[in-house]
Amino acid sequence: MGAVAGLWRALRHRGTERVAAWARRRHGAETGPVTITGRRVYILPTGLGIAYGGMLFAMLLAGLNYANNLALALTFVLAAAGWVAMHRCHHNLAGLEIAPAGTHPPFAGSDATFSFRLASSVPRIDLIVSSGCGTPATLSLAGPGSTVATVALPTTRRGRVRLHRLRIETTFPLGLFTAWTWIHPELSCLVYPRPAARGGGGPPPAAEAGAARDGRARGEEDFSALRAFRDGDPPRRIAWKAWARGGDLVVKEYVGSARAPVMLDLDAASGRDLEERLATLARWIVDAEERGDRYGVRVGTIEVAPGGGPLHRQRCLGPLAIHALPPEAA
C-alpha cells in the first residue's frame, strides 16, 4: 500500500507540474497587478464532490426504479444546489485583483516572505494563497476593499530566492469543487548570510580616528534638541509622544562623548573560508545596529558609507548576500 501511495503522489505531482508549466506558457510572466478573468480560472470536483455526484446518481436510479416523485424532486433540488455551488466557486476567484506588495529579506535558514495585495469590489470567502511549499495563507474579504496575503519560501543558503509561481484557490461555498488559478510574478528576494554566533567571530574593528573631543559630538549622554526626521534615523530616537500629540515627526539629538563611525571590512573578518567570514561580518553589522552605532561596510570593491537605521542595515547586508556568487544565483 505504501508503494502504491508513493506512486500515486509522484504521478499526481508530475501531472500538476505539467499543467502548471502549460499555464505558464499560456499566461506568461507578470510583473504588475493582475486581474483574474474567467478564462484563467480552472475548476474540478473535489473528493467530496465526486461522492456527492455518485449519491445523486444513486438517488436518481432509485427514484426512477420505484417511480417515486418525491425522491426525484429531492434529487433535482440537490443537483441544482451542486450546480449553483460550482458557479459560485468559479465566481469566487473571477474578477479578483492581485498585486505584489513587497518582500522581506531573511537570513539564511529562515523563510523569505512575499506579500501580495488582494483587492475586490465584492466579497471573497475562503481564499487560499500558496507558493507550492510552506504553509498556505487563508483569508477572506468581507466586502469591497483589499487585504494582504503573505507566503513564505524556505531558504538554506545566501543569495537570491525566486518566487516563480503563486497559486490561489478556493472550495467555497460547499467544498464540492475546487477552483484555482496561477500567477507568475517573477519576484525575487535577497537572502543574507546567517550571522555567526555572538562572540564567535571575534570583536569588530575599533572606531576610526576622529572621534569628537570637544564634548559636543552627537552621542547618547544628554538630550540636546529636536530636529526633523530624516530617512535612516533609528526608530528609538523618534519623539513618539510629540508626534502622538499631533506634532511633526521629530528626532531627539544628544550630546556627549560619541564614538566615531566604524568601517566594517570583510578583509578584517575572521573565518576558515569565505562563508564564515561573511557570517562574521553579518554578526558585526547586526550588533552595530543594535548598539545604535554609525557604521559602514566594505565588501570587495563595494563600499557603503557609514550610517544607521533599519534601511541602512539592509543596504549593508545586501552586498554580503551576493558576494562572489555566480550570476544565476545573484
Q: Report the pLDDT value the prediction gives residue 2, as an integer from 0 to 100.
A: 63
Most confident of 13-17, 106-110, 291-295: 106-110
* Inter-CA distances, 13 with 16, 28, 60, 157, 161, Å: 5, 22, 35, 26, 22
Q: Report the pLDDT value the prediction gives residue 133, as an integer from 0 to 100.
A: 78
- Split at pLDDT 50, 70, 90, the class of 186 is confident
Alpha-carbon torsion 78, 83, 88, 89, what sign? positive
Q: Which residues are paired to 107 by β-bridges? A: 192
Do 229 and 238 touch, CB atoms closer than 8 A? yes
For residue 75, the tally of other CB atoms under 10 A from its CB is 21
Do 288 and 298 touch, CB atoms closer than 8 A? no
Q: Which residue has the higher pLDDT, 327 or 278?
A: 278
For residue 323, the tally of other CB atoms under 10 A from its CB is 19
Cell of 69: 416523485
Q: Which residues are paired to 227 by β-bridges? A: 251
Q: Report the pLDDT value the prediction gives residue 209, as an integer from 0 to 100.
A: 35
* Inter-CA distances, 283 with 189, 206, 212, 321, Å: 20, 15, 26, 13
Q: Which residue has the higher pLDDT, 98 or 216?
A: 98
Q: Report the pLDDT value the prediction gives residue 12, as an integer from 0 to 100.
A: 61
Average pLDDT over residues 147-154: 93
Q: Report the pLDDT value the prediction gives residue 232, as an integer from 0 to 100.
A: 66
Among 73-82, 93-102, 204-213, 288-297, the least confident range = 204-213
Asked, as a colleague might, if the bond just before 173 is cis with ω within 30 of 0, I would say yes
Average pLDDT over residues 23-29: 67
Alpha-carbon torsion 298, 302, 308, 312, what sign? negative
% of the chain at pLDDT higher than 70: 81
* Inter-CA distances, 48 with 57, 90, 178, 241, Å: 14, 17, 10, 56
Cell of 203: 570583536
Whole-number average pLDDT of the chain: 85
For residue 276, the tally of other CB atoms under 10 A from its CB is 16
Q: How many CA atoms lie within 13 A of 114 on its CB side?
A: 32
> Exposed, middle or buried: residue 147 (CB in 10 Å: 0-12, 13-18, 19+)?
middle
Structural domain boundaries in the chain: 14-191, 217-322
**What is the per-residue DSSP string for 132-193?**
SSSPPEEEEE-SSEEEEEEEEEE--SSEEEEE--EEEEE-TTTSSEEEEEEE---EEEEEBP
Residue 153 pLDDT > 50, yes or no? yes
280: left (phi over 0), alpha (psi -120 to 50) or beta: alpha
Q: Report the pLDDT value the prediction gives residue 227, as an integer from 0 to 100.
A: 80
pLDDT in tens, 198-227: 876 666 766 443 344 344 444 445 666 778
Q: Report the pLDDT value the prediction gives residue 10, as an integer from 0 to 100.
A: 61
Q: Could you give the CA distance from residue 202 to residue 283 in angstroms, rounded to a whole number?
A: 10
Cα R_g (the chain), whole angstroms: 29
- Split at pLDDT 50, 70, 90, the class of 244 is confident
Q: Report the pLDDT value the prediction gives residue 280, as an integer from 0 to 100.
A: 94
Q: Could you give the CA distance from residue 292 to residue 258 in angstroms, rounded to a whole number?
A: 11
Closest CA to 191 of 109, 107, 110, 310: 107
Q: CB within 8 A of 208, min separation 6: which ones?
A: 260, 261, 262, 263
